[in-house]
Amino acid sequence: MFDQLNARIDDKTDDLVTLTQELIRIPTVNPPGDAYVPCAQYLGNRLKARGFQVDYIRAHDTPGDSDAFPRLNVIARHEGRGPGPVVHFNSHIDVVEAGAGWTVDPFGGEIRDGKIYGRGACDMKGGLAASVIAVEAYIEANPNYHGALEISGTVDEESGGFGGVAHLASKGLFSKPRVDHVIIPEPLNKDRVCLGHRGVWWAEIETHGTQAHGSMPFLGDSAIRHMGSVLQAFEQELYPQLANKRTDMPVVPPGARQSTLNINSIHGGEGEAGTEGKPDDYSGLPSPNVADSCRIILDRRFLIEENIETVKGEVIDILEGLKKDRESFDYAIRDIMEVLPTMTERDAPVVQAVSQGIRTVLGKEPDYVISPGTYDQKHIARIGHLHDCIAYGPGILDLAHMADEFVGIDDMVQSAKVMAHAIHALLHSH
């Protein structure tokens, strides 16, 4: 049976390549959320023609949704010949902007040396295409299977997933009894099972000051200098503290096996060209002023061993300390986003099924990894309360969001075989 399934997937290699190329050629760039409708319909039309029940769900009133940029998701379901487990493959259809530095057309789907190039080739249209081929091959090889198979193409993963998986999860589409097992074909490599991700806390800190003429700064109070004292305290106290917090989570790359903090942005004083009150083409000199406000955005990634109250408390302690020690220091802090870490157990059915697929197809033991950043698994765990969920798919994680992103055709074929084996194991596990 597995030989026949593998042969069927090999026979579909051209179809897999064309499908990936055509998905790349639909430029679903987010933000703003371009071309979601044609991409969802392209996927829906293909699966409808193959006997799937196809539903389109627009996430009205979610961030970014408008008539110009509708947040349109597609979910397709194929019913087997009798009741049984439901296996779902979820892929995001959005990609990040192309950016500079490409040597090929980022939306051309060009093939070179056995690789398909384009924005989203690796993250994650290659994985989406591999899962479509795996499911179609499985159904053809096992027309009398019991259970159901689902494929979804969801939006906005790159911007938090609120109009995508979070929206569908809030409608019960990622909960039992509708679905039992979820595989997200993010590019974690064909031989790795990704069990989950670290947590995230984003926050904005603002320091306050008093405006004055820049030639007489002593008449004002610089919010930028106050922010300097915050950054200095982070360097001296917080960063060493974070470096000491190591995790047992198998995060890749290993540099992310500790707590991390990035300062995503800093803004203070007069705006630059293109900001409020300054047209894009403004090229004059700045005017001298003492800044009355300075803001930074924190991006703190935390571990399953930490709790979010402690994570926030470390920062607030530093700010409160400065308030005591530094004359006229005043600040405000605002939460932007928080996501708790998630990690599926290694003995969970979906982990076992994909692991067995990797052993059979690739002849090696799988690696178990944790993603440094979050992906849509968070919504499936927290909103759907479904914990039998992992990420598994072709492509090299480091290439995601880079110029000249690609996915290897052989890798896609092999991971489609692993997915098809996993489908078989999960449908027969109950």
- Binding residues vs Zn ion (CB under 5 A): 123-124, 186
Which runs of E-coded beta strand occur in 242-388? 260-268, 293-302, 331-339, 342-343, 367-371
Instruction: Return d(Cα 234, Cα 202) in angstroms, integer.
Output: 16
Cis peptide bond upstream of 143, omega within 30: no
Is there a contact between 395 and 123 (Cβ–Cβ < 8 Å)?
A: yes
**Marked catalytic residue, from 123, 150, 157, 221:** 157
Question: Which one-letter DSSP state was computed for residue 213?
Answer: B
Q: How far is the CB of 400 from Zn ion (least distance, A)?
A: 6
Q: How far is the CB of 123 from Zn ion (least distance, A)?
A: 4
Q: How far is the CB of 122 from Zn ion (least distance, A)?
A: 9
> Which token pair is 96?
């990040």
User: Measured from the CB atom, is 92 or 312 closer to Zn ion?
Assistant: 92
Q: How far is the CB of 91 from Zn ion (least distance, A)?
A: 8
Instruction: Return d(Cα 211, Cα 229) in angstroms, integer.
Output: 18
Closest CA to 37 of 18, 52, 57, 54: 57
Give 117's strand partners.
406
Q: How far is the CB of 403 from Zn ion (least distance, A)?
A: 17
Cis peptide bond upstream of 31, omega within 30: yes
User: Measured from the CB atom, is 94 or 388 closer to Zn ion?
Assistant: 94
- State phi, psi for 304 to the nearest 5 degrees: -65, -20
Residue nearest to Zn ion (CB): 123
User: Measured from the CB atom, is 162 or 329 closer to Zn ion?
Assistant: 162
Taking each helix axis from N to C end, the angle separating 2-11 and 126-141, rounded to the nearest 10 degrees, works out to: 130
Q: How far is the CB of 206 from Zn ion (least distance, A)?
A: 31
User: Measured from the CB atom, is 21 or 30 closer to Zn ion?
Assistant: 30
Is there a contact between 155 and 73 (Cβ–Cβ < 8 Å)?
A: yes
Taking phi over 0 as left and psi of -120 to 50 as alpha, with beta for the rest, 340 belongs to beta
- Characterize the bridge pairing of strands 260-268 and 367-371: unpaired
Within a 10 A sphere around the Cβ of 426, how many other Cβ atoms? 24
Instruction: Return d(Cα 411, Cα 393) in angstroms, integer.
Output: 9
Confirm whether 157 is a catalytic residue.
yes
**Marked catalytic residue, from 94, 221, 405, 411:** 94
User: Measured from the CB atom, is 186 or 411 closer to Zn ion?
Assistant: 186
- The CA dihedral of 350, 354, 359, 360, to the nearest 10 degrees, is 110
Instruction: Return d(Cα 62, Cα 54) in angstroms, integer.
Output: 22
Confirm whether 292 is a catalytic residue.
no
Instruction: Return d(Cα 204, Cα 71) in angstroms, integer.
Output: 27
First to last CA, the chain: 20
Q: How far is the CB of 375 from Zn ion (least distance, A)?
A: 6
Q: How far is the CB of 110 from Zn ion (least distance, A)?
A: 21
User: Measured from the CB atom, is 124 or 141 closer to Zn ion?
Assistant: 124
User: Measured from the CB atom, is 292 or 405 closer to Zn ion?
Assistant: 405
Instruction: Return d(Cα 9, Cα 22) in angstroms, integer.
Output: 19
User: Measured from the CB atom, is 186 or 405 closer to Zn ion?
Assistant: 186
Within a 10 A sphere around the Cβ of 6, how many other Cβ atoms? 20
Catalytic residues, which ones? 94, 157
